[in-house]
Structure 1
């Protein structure tokens, strides 16, 4: 499947074309296609320079984002594995699942449950599993989250559980999703969708994107908001690096000079605990940008910007293809008068995080300081507001 998408790189490939290319002589359902798409998305990393996006109502498009060497052998294995997984699911009736550990012990963990079938039609159970797999695949693109969709020890210990149900009423389908805390059982986020049964696959794409957008944003998503509340309840004397990051983010969003100082204090403490915590570095760069906007003289601004440059460079060294880091790099490239590179990296940030409300909003704001982005920035801003239920406050 990957080779077929690659052969049509930059073009929308319909679901029917993909199914004909991968299973020309086998009768399969679209669940198999979604499983392969999810597996390919899970394997897409910065080193590939590629992104796979949904085009609602039309299909999928594989796009080159940066000029990088493509590890051909690796993708042959991934494609074969994805097809084998999906075929086994069809023939044996089981759903492939995965774990996406980030390697960061402080990463919030979330377990994705299959969506429960509330009707008498058994095929909604299979479609509920496919929906959960698609959501897990999209959330797994957020490297700061530890995502599981298999009943393992790590899933049982997950900090959050995403569950939901599908109800069929006449020719209409209603889907509900809710995120709950494993410790307390408290629901920290919920949403619902309605649509015609005939539009299910477009509806599945829309739900996956909406859930990823609502939960995946590190500054304003439902998981981040819940973790900030928990961090405050547990106090600040012995917080780990992640908790300092969350509290620093909260102070940043108060948008006052005094709050910026507190934000920088917590972010620097996070960095002291874990010098490789690249998210703390990139967020600290944003705080310096906000502090710089309040500077009243060039002499007051200069040391703030010098510190910001050093912080961005360190974030780039730690993880150059992180979307938040790329947004900050956009400013740095413009500061160095390389405006073509500045535009390239801001668009790369959006390509890597198309459903992250924080990245989209910041890209729309920061990008126009260095480039003329035209309708792109309006689109990013509108998409950010649609994804972020707290956008007016944000």
Structure 2
């Protein structure tokens, strides 16, 4: 494919998906799935362009050398070095993307059929914090806090951090604030906004002495990281939620799946799973895609009956283990395997090990805290589990898991024989999600002994609507069967056994 044919290829397919990378034929640039340009030597880039213009076809060494070095005599070694550069840039360790035709030349394996829509990482603009006019010390503190926030948040790979106010128009999030002096202390106000819809995600003020104010950036960045994570999971994929999977690139598929996963309903579960299967097909070595697909095995646990889970457990762990091999430095990947260990194998020690490693990477990762807290409650340490869940609730506004947090707290309180606290927590969880059978089941157990509630028609109607078996607690990975006996006895006492 040369001359006019090559021009037509560029016009028809200005972008090629090569593994998880994107090559733009019009600009001759190679980018990752976040649209970040990958640096590559000029000659290597020209070799890649020739291969891309003839994708799927063998291009002879002679043709490549003639195209890249038209007036220079070079040896095959120069071409071989370019091929090495290209494979390194593509991450093509198995040589499946740039293939060698021995004695003939090279061919590029890319996908022309699926439209490439790489999505950029959300951009967070940290604007300069304002300070009390004329107060030099407050101005210096404001500048220091802004710098420290940029440093702390830059470690979050899912975000692009900028302090350039010129990027406000293409930023999705904005951190702003001010520092004022009150006597010998300082009041610091920080706000996180979504620029897409103008809503405030987080706003808080702190009073600090000049000696303690150095601790503030770490505290603020931890809270902002936690809130941004929840916000991007819940809303980051809304633009892709109703788009056909065939139109989406891997990163968009993951965003779409995350959007559906946090809705905790069967139709959303089906949509999320389909998107993840498509993403793994496109990028079989993407650790986050593999981990997300593996996590679907427990995504609706304990909201649905365990017998309804369709996954082959061995296959699930194959996905999870491979994800850890490829992404051992990714908190979500580690937490996913830990969560699977707990729910599917009752391996509380392994679950804690994986989740503690995840927290070593991201100390505020709420899902890792959730798995450890759940494990504590199920493994006979309800006090510790309740304490950790309460700490999660203090991290910020209620997230989609909040009803589950309260139901788990209620179970822990029932095991501690604290009936009033158990009922209050279960009622809170049930009222936040009244159609959820899991929250209703825990609420029913917590109501044992409260005949003013359990004898009412409304309560009996609630029992009839619970779409979970009496054995649901027994199917959970409790370490002590006596804990299950206690919970089942409470269910019997309110009439659920015969419901």
Q: Where does residue 145 of structure 2 map in the other structure?
A: 131
Q: Which residue among 258, 278, 302 is the counterpart of 1:269? A: 278
Q: Where does residue 176 of structure 1 map in the other structure?
A: 189
Q: Is the contact between residue 264 and residue 300 of structure 2 (CA under 8 Å) also seen in structure 1? A: no
Q: Which residue among 223, 233, 241 is the counterpart of 2:250? A: 241
| Alignment pair present for 1:195 and 2:207 | yes
SS of the counterpart of 1:290? coil
| Alignment pair present for 1:325 and 2:333 | yes
Summarize deviations over 1:313-349 as a string: whole Å, max 9, x none. 2311220232222123325666779765543222212
Q: How does 1:146-157 map to 2 (within 5 A)?
A: 146-149=160-163, 151=164, 157=170
Distance in 1 between residues matched to 2:306 and 2:232, nearest whole Å: 37
Q: Is the contact between residue 150 and residue 161 of structure 2 (CA under 8 Å) also seen in structure 1? A: yes
| Alignment pair present for 1:186 and 2:198 | yes
Provide the aligned length of Structure 1 versus Structure 2. 280
| Pair 290,213 (structure 1): closer, same or farther in 2 beyond 3 Å | closer
| Pair 114,363 (structure 1): closer, same or farther in 2 beyond 3 Å | farther
5+ residue gaps, structure 2: 1-117, 405-499
Summarize deviations over 1:288-330 as a string: whole Å, max 9, x none. 1135754554xx6574423321220231122023222212332
Q: Is the contact between residue 234 and residue 258 of structure 2 (CA under 8 Å) also seen in structure 1? A: no
| Pair 290,228 (structure 1): closer, same or farther in 2 beyond 3 Å | closer
Q: Which residue among 252, 257, 269 is the counterpart of 2:261? A: 252
TM-score, length-scaled by structure 1:
0.59
Q: Which residue among 164, 175, 195 is the counterpart of 1:162? A: 175
SS of the counterpart of 1:275? coil
Deviation at 1:389, TM superposition (A): 1.0
Deviation at 1:248, TM superposition (A): 1.7
Q: Is the contact between residue 297 and residue 309 of structure 2 (CA under 8 Å) also seen in structure 1? A: no
Q: Is the contact between residue 358 and residue 384 of structure 1 (CA under 8 Å) also seen in structure 2? A: no
What's the RMSD between the two structures over aligned residues?
Answer: 3.5
Q: Larger deviation: 329-338 or 204-213?
A: 329-338
Q: Is the contact between residue 360 and residue 383 of structure 1 (CA under 8 Å) also seen in structure 2? A: no
Distance in 2 between residues matched to 1:267 and 1:148, nearest whole Å: 30
| Alignment pair present for 1:279 and 2:288 | yes
| Pair 361,225 (structure 1): closer, same or farther in 2 beyond 3 Å | same
Q: Is the contact between residue 252 and residue 260 of structure 1 (CA under 8 Å) also seen in structure 2? A: yes
Distance in 2 between residues matched to 1:311 and 1:118, nearest whole Å: 54
Higher RCO, Cα 8 Å, sep 6+:
1
Deviation at 1:106, TM superposition (A): 4.0
Deviation at 1:354, TM superposition (A): 0.8
Q: How does 1:305-324 map to 2 (within 5 A)?
A: 305-324=313-332
| Pair 152,174 (structure 1): closer, same or farther in 2 beyond 3 Å | closer
Q: Is the contact between residue 257 and residue 275 of structure 2 (CA under 8 Å) also seen in structure 1? A: yes
Summarize deviations over 1:356-377 as a string: whole Å, max 9, x none. 22332244335766x6667654
Summarize deviations over 1:140-187 as a string: whole Å, max 9, x none. 3323223344x39888854433222223344453333333455x5724
Distance in 2 between residues matched to 1:312 and 1:158, nearest whole Å: 34
Distance in 2 between residues matched to 1:272 and 1:188, nearest whole Å: 37
5+ residue gaps, structure 1: 1-103
Q: Is the contact between residue 114 and residue 129 of structure 1 (CA under 8 Å) also seen in structure 2? A: yes
Distance in 1 between residues matched to 2:270 and 2:375, nearest whole Å: 21
Q: Is the contact between residue 129 and residue 146 of structure 2 (CA under 8 Å) also seen in structure 1? A: yes
Q: Where does residue 366 of structure 2 map in the other structure?
A: 357
| Pair 290,231 (structure 1): closer, same or farther in 2 beyond 3 Å | closer
Q: Which residue among 135, 141, 154 is the counterpart of 1:121? A: 135
Distance in 1 between residues matched to 2:328 and 2:151, nearest whole Å: 22
Q: Where does residue 206 of structure 1 map in the other structure?
A: 219
SS of the counterpart of 2:353? helix
| Pair 231,337 (structure 1): closer, same or farther in 2 beyond 3 Å | closer
| Pair 296,339 (structure 1): closer, same or farther in 2 beyond 3 Å | closer
Bigger radius of gyration among the two = 2
Q: How does 1:1-394 map to 2 (within 5 A)?
A: 106-149=120-163, 151=164, 157-181=170-194, 184=196, 186-198=198-210, 199-215=212-228, 217=229, 220=230, 222-232=231-241, 235-237=242-244, 238-290=247-299, 294=304, 297=307, 303-331=311-339, 340-365=349-374, 377-391=385-399, 392=402
